[in-house]
Amino acid sequence: MSAAVVPQRAAERPSRGTRRLVALGAATLCAFGGLGLVAPRWVAPERPAQLAHAPRDVIARAAGRATPPAPAVAPLESGTCGPDMQLVAGTYCPYVGHRCLEWIQENRDRCRRYDEKILCEGQKVQKRFCIDRYEYPNQAGALPAVMTSWVEAEQACKAEGKRLCTESEWTFACEGEAKLPYPYGFERNAEACNIDRHYRDPNFSAFSHDRLISDEVSRLDQRVPSGAMSGCVSPFGVHDMTGNVDEWVVNEDPKLDKDEDVSSLKGGYWGPIRARCRPVTNSHNRWFRFYQVGFRCCADPKGSTQPVLP
């Protein structure tokens, strides 16, 4: 298979309409029995259905995997970020080209191994910010929240005195100054992060019925607890950035940021998809919710007078 150079910015734009479910309005963020799952807008608000944990066999497989050792973590400056957050600071490249040496599935943009020679274009910028160590609710051992809209994610971060991460912040926290295609290196590894699991076809009609949605989400669910994949750690010490669940971010394109029909997801989820640091999906509106969609939060370092801009 011939190698290919994939020029990537933190703002790729795939075709619209991919997995497009539309929900109207913004629901109140509420957890189900400590599972970190958010009530979908179309579930009766009086008694939202409880959603099951990830299947036990999935968690057992994750716990029993021989994962590679976690990479070295950048030291945290005392008092800079909250105790549940990680400092990310360094030089970020806005445009990166990765050359795939061996494809798994070229038409799905899944690469097994990348060339370690990297193309960097554009003016490099200094970044310094704090990011949640884990996916929301940002607790080691907890299942990440799903069925959350962009609007709900933004509100949840604000409630904690934080904010949604920008695309470039998320990308930099994932790839590090080395501009890695995967948070753990240049070779794709399904034993490192929760990725490349067998795809289960969703029953879209179930998401319109109160009595069916809970069972359907449980059937599709292949999450693992945050931090369970010990090798899924970025150079900055951030866990589960690729795989497990998709994560909402703020789009930095001024035109797209003003368009409520466009919101951005990073990282991919547990299925056989790109699951890299650079790609982004911009094909859903701000009220879209689905079984694999979650988020994490960012914040400005303590003592900062203004947000760190891309």
> Tell me: the pLDDT tens digits for 110-169?
999 999 999 999 999 999 999 999 999 999 999 999 999 999 999 999 999 999 999 999
289 forms beta bridges with none
For the chain, what is the mean pLDDT?
79
Could you tell me which CATH class the domain 17-93+123-299 is placed in? alpha beta
What is the average per-residue pLDDT within 174-186? 98
Q: Where are the alpha helices (DSSP H) in 185-239?
A: 210-220
Distance, CA of 297 to CA of 109 (rounded, Å): 27
Confidence of residue 305 (pLDDT cuts 50, 70, 90): low
Find the farthest-apart pair of alpha carbons in the chain and give their distance in angstroms, rounded.
Answer: 56
The DSSP bridge pattern shows strands 246-249 and 293-295 to be parallel
CA quadruple 270, 276, 277, 281: dihedral sign: negative
Confidence of residue 255 (pLDDT cuts 50, 70, 90): confident
Q: Is 98 in a helix, a strand, or coil?
A: strand
Residue 260's pLDDT is 78
Residue 5's pLDDT is 42
More confidently predicted of 61 and 218: 218
Residue 303's pLDDT is 75
Task: For residue 80, give the amino acid letter.
Answer: T
Joined together, the tokens standing for residue 98 give: 């990765």
Q: Whole-prediction pTM value?
A: 0.76
What is the average per-residue pLDDT within 175-189? 98
What is the average per-residue pLDDT within 229-249? 98
